[in-house]
Every structure is written in structure tokens, then in C-alpha cells.
Amino acid sequence: MGHWRLVVATDELIWSDELYRIYGLDPKTTNITRELASSMKLPDDAGRFSQAIEDYKTGKPVSDFEYRLKRTDGNIRHIQGSIQPEYDGKGQIVSFFGISQDITNLKDALNSRNAVESRFKDLIELAADWYWEMDENLAFTYVSERMEEITGLDRKRFIGRSRGDAEGDIIAEGDWQTHQEDLINRRTFRDFRYRYKNEKGQLFYWSASGKPVFNENGDFAGYRGTGTDITAQTVLEDKLRQSQKLQAIGQLTGGVAHDFNNILAIIVGNAELVRERILQKQPIDLHIIDAIIRSVKRGSDLTSSLLAFSRKQDLQPDILCLNEGLSSFSHILKRAAGEAIDLTITHQENLWRCRVDSGQMENAVLNLVLNARDALPSGGSIHLQTANISLDEAKALDLDIELGDYVTLAVRDTGTGIPEDNLTHVFEPFFTTKEIGKGTGLGLSMVYGFAKQSGGTATIPASSSEGTTAMIYLPRHQEEA
């Protein structure tokens, strides 16, 4: 910051060394005059200094002013100046005293900030999303114009209101309580989906992401974030799901019809035999009645599998040891695998107990063995192994189940493996690689549904040309834990 003094009587101009530095001049070699100082100012700004002096002389108010100068090295500097008159004992102006401050760096910073703000504004208005801000009371203080362009809604209806209090009906697609907890605990949230219905009944699907903002003292100051209109995307997804349902129903029809036709053929055939025996007054063999009963039971089991898949069949859980269940069930598993396949079981010592429906558990294990058998057309081996496992946070998150202790069952085969393209679809309902009419595609879906309903999960963590491993995770019984 430099200063100067102008003597009115002699027009003598006196500068401080700092003012010389600001102008880029050497005080030892430069004789400063008003003409020299004026010549260094840009033409548009040269008259401001003289105008301020004249205004003082005529009694007009004078405020601080800015001007630009061009130094001898070509550098342009921005200067803020102030001027005050100095009076003699008779009240006459004898000189003017002024202060000049180089504000070039400040100007550059302001220009840079303005440029950033301008770019930011352009990005906001041109983005596919809209931008919003909330205050510490979680009320909207700003919603960008982009929202009006995208939705046609007046953004002013949201100002001063929270997301839940906005005009119209808010319906959370996800967990509204968790979202509220995020806001209360000042946590960042991403892709919170909700529906908004305005007073005209028009329905919108939106997604919001936000980050908390804190002031320089660390106090919570609100949120800022983005909003996205996903109405068109959601409508398309609904249509796709409907199409997939129709496709699934068609796929299910072929498999279920095949299975039930086989069952009905046995029932009808044996019922006709019974009718002929009765008409001919011949004795009825019990094996004919038994065949009918077995077929009815097969139909009941198929219905049970369908219900278990849809999760509309209530499980009847018991506290059991999986080792004991497998031991009592092993002869059925070996018979299902066939003579060409070597089926073995390894039991974990001191295996934890779990609380599951024993009938559905047997059904799930049988389905895994049957799938492994189908992958061994030329024979091979199937190995079942139980284990205790404690999941850490990362593993539990990866499996999408609760942190804690689990009993696991691994079913490994030496078959041909599952193609990588199919691996992510094996637990999907009605998905099957078998020929049309050879199955319903519900086996692994039922396994997955049973495991999830029991509080665990089912996965296929490994598959290659040397075989496949399927895993069932069941939570350890809490009373035992």
C-alpha cells in the first residue's frame, strides 16, 4: 500500500517508495509528475484521479475509486485509490493526501471465482440432473432451474419445505426410515429413490443423492446434492419385468405341464386298472393303489416346491444338527445320485446347530445333489461337507447376510461346470439349461428361497471345467451361541 501527496499551489506530487514499486518505477531515477502518472493509467481510467480532485474543490462527495495502470514492463495492475483534502488554518485546501493499494491479486481471485461459478452454473443448468440445497432444518433453500425444465414443476413449491413436507404425496421406494436416519446423523446418502405425486395426480419417480455441509466452526449447515428424474427409466423397467414374467410363465408352463402329465398318466392308468378289476370282480393288488398314492404325493411335492419358491408356504423350523440330518438322509441321496456316481459326506466335528425346516432342508440338499448328478452324465463324484464359519463384515456384506456365525453345507461335483454366462442366473426363477419339458427351473430357486427365508443364503462361489461347488449358509441357532 503506497501513499502520495499533491501540493495545490505548486502542483508538486510526492510519492512513497511503495507507490513507486506499485507503478514499477525506480524512485532514484524517476521524477514523478502528474503528467507521468496520468500517462501510465489506461485511457478509460485516466480521468478518475483528476475528477476526484475537482469534485472535492466544488464540494461534491467523493468515494474510493478503482483504476488500471500499465507499467513499463507491460504488466496491467488494478489499483484502489482514496483521496482526502488537507486544509490550512483558514479552511482552504492546500493539498490532497491519497492512498493507493494494488488489488490485482484480489481482482484475479475474484475473476477466477466468478469464472468457476459461471462454469458451475452452466454445468448445473446443462446437466441431466438438477441441483438442490437444504438448510440446517432440512428445508430446501435452492432448487436449480433444471428441475423445471425436466419435470415441468414449479421449483418454488419446494423452497422452505423439507422433502417429506413438499406439496403433493411422497412415497418412498426404498427405506424411508433409513433415509431419515441418514439425515439426522448427517450422513452422505446416494440414490435414495422415491415417488412424488402432485396435486393433479401426476406420478414422478425420482432419485436423490446428497452430502452434508458444515461451516468453518464445524457446525452442521445443511445438505447439498442432486436430483434425477427416473420416471421414464422406471416405466421401462416395469414393462421389462412384466415381459419377463410372461416369459417365465411360458417357461414354467412347459416344465410343470410335463411333470403333472407324467403324474396324471400314472394315476389315470392305475385307476383304469382298478376299475377293470372291480368290473371283472377280480382282486385289486395293493401295488396299484400304492402307485396312485405315490403319484399323488409327487404332485403334492411339486406344489410344495412351487410354494416354497414363492415363499408363501410357512416353514416349520426345528433346532437340528445338519450332520445328523445328512446321516439319516444319506441313503436317499445316494440312490438319487445313482450307481455311477460316488457320493461321500464329510462332517465337521462339533457342528453348530441351526433352526430350519427339516423337510425343506432335505428338499434343498436333494435338489443340489440332483443338479450335481445332471452335470455328471458319464459318472464321477459328489462330495458334501459341513462346516462352522464366522463371517467378518466384508464377507457378510459380500453375501448380503447378517454378520455372525453360520453353519455351511458345500456340495462339490466333478462335472462339466457351469458356463460363465449362466453362473449369474442359476438361482433365478425358471432358469434352466435343460431341454423344454425336462424341468421347471425351480430347483435352485427353491434352494435359494429356503436359505434366504431361513436367514442365510445360497451361492455358487466356484465353477470350472473340473466341477462346481454350491454353498448353503444357515445362521447358527442363537440360544446355542
Is residue 201 in a domain? yes
Residues in CB range of 46: below 8 A, 6 or more apart: 38, 39, 67
Taking CA atoms, 79 is separated from 89, 271, 348, in Å, by 33, 109, 84
Answer whether 408's CB lies under 8 Å from 473's CB.
yes
d(CA 92, CA 89): 7
Answer whether 33's CB lies under 8 Å from 13's CB.
yes
Kindly state whether residues 191 and 101 are assigned to the same domain.
Answer: no
Is residue 118 in a domain? no
The side-by-side arrangement of strands in the sheet containing 220-229 is: 140-143, 130-134, 220-229, 203-214, 189-197, 169-172
Kindly state whether residues 306 and 446 are assigned to the same domain.
Answer: no
d(CA 458, CA 480): 23
Answer whether 149's CB lies under 8 Å from 181's CB.
no
Is residue 481 in a domain? no
Is residue 115 in a domain? no
Kindly state whether residues 337 and 393 are assigned to the same domain.
Answer: yes
Residues in CB range of 375: below 8 A, 6 or more apart: 413, 415, 416, 417, 418, 467, 468
Residue 372 belongs to what domain range?
318-475
Residue 479 CB burial class (10 angstroms; 0-12, 13-18, ≥19): exposed
d(CA 361, CA 322): 9
Please tell me the predicted confidence (pLDDT) of residue 437: 45
Number of Cβ atoms within 10 Å of the Cβ of 43: 8
Please tell me the predicted confidence (pLDDT) of residue 311: 46
Is residue 120 in a domain? no
Kindly state whether residues 54 and 86 are assigned to the same domain.
Answer: yes
The domain boundary, picked from 176, 200, 229, lies at 229
Cα Rg of the chain (Å, integer): 42
Is residue 326 in a domain? yes
Kindly state whether residues 63 and 86 are assigned to the same domain.
Answer: yes
Number of Cβ atoms within 10 Å of the Cβ of 60: 10
Please tell me the predicted confidence (pLDDT) of residue 466: 77
Tens of pLDDT, residue by residue over 326-360, are: 998 888 788 878 889 999 999 999 999 999 988 88
Kindly state whether residues 288 and 248 are assigned to the same domain.
Answer: yes
Kindly state whether residues 240 and 362 are assigned to the same domain.
Answer: no
Kindly state whether residues 471 and 323 are assigned to the same domain.
Answer: yes
Length of the chain: 481
Q: Is the dihedral of CA 153, 159, 163, 169 positive or negative?
A: negative
Is residue 436 in a domain? yes
State the total domains in the chain.
4
Residue 136 sits in a domain of what CATH number? 3.30.450.20
Answer whether 163's CB lies under 8 Å from 139's CB.
no
Answer whether 442's CB lies under 8 Å from 434's CB.
no
Kindly state whether residues 337 and 470 are assigned to the same domain.
Answer: yes
Is residue 79 in a domain? yes
Beta strands 341-346; 380-391: pairing state: parallel
Grid cell listed for 461 = 462361489
**Looking up cell 449358509, which residue turns up?**
473
Q: pTM of the predicted model, to two decimals?
A: 0.41
Residue stretches of the chain with pLDDT short of 50: 309, 311-313, 436-437, 481
Kindly state whether residues 355 and 271 are assigned to the same domain.
Answer: no
Taking CA atoms, 458 is separated from 330, 450, 463, in Å, by 21, 9, 14
